[in-house]
């Protein structure tokens, strides 16, 4: 199945999400299920995000970890960009802490007719 969308933008969105999962997932395995383009969860086994920060991490330049350490650093734009791309495609990006440990980012896109 092919999805009708902006391929480079969707690639950037998924790259940002997978990069975050591998960077902040404490060296754990990152899983990404792409069986259906309508909903793609990306999970890691890191510490998750404190509940009070979950909504704010979508704000430009907002970072939970504020040090300038290159290992944990970043500009705080990755999730903002990923969410904007999802919304530009008529979709959404949500974050939720997993019950045991880790974070799940779920990219949800509307179903479009297949492209042949």
pLDDT tens digits for range 103-116? 999 998 887 655 54
pTM of the predicted structure, to 2 decimals? 0.80
Picking from 30, 48, 28, 62, the residue whose alpha carbon sits closest to that of residue 103 is 48
Please say whether the beta carbons of 87 and 103 come within 8 A.
Answer: no
More confident residue, 13 or 38: 13
> Cα separation of 88 and 110, whole Å?
11
pLDDT in tens, 81-108: 999 999 999 899 999 999 988 899 999 8
Supply the pLDDT for residue 13.
93
């Amino acid at each position: 199945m092919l999805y009708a969308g902006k391929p480079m933008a969707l690639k950037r969105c998924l790259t940002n999400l997978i990069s975050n999962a591998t960077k902040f997932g404490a060296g754990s395995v990152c899983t990404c299920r792409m069986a259906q383009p309508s909903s793609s969860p990306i999970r890691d086994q890191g510490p998750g995000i404190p509940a009070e920060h979950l909504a704010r991490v979508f704000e430009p330049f907002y970072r939970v970890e504020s040090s300038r350490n290159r290992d944990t650093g970043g500009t705080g734009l990755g999730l903002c960009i990923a969410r904007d791309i999802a919304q530009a495609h008529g979709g959404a990006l949500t974050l939720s802490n997993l019950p045991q440990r880790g974070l799940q980012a779920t990219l949800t896109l509307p179903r479009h007719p297949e492209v042949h």
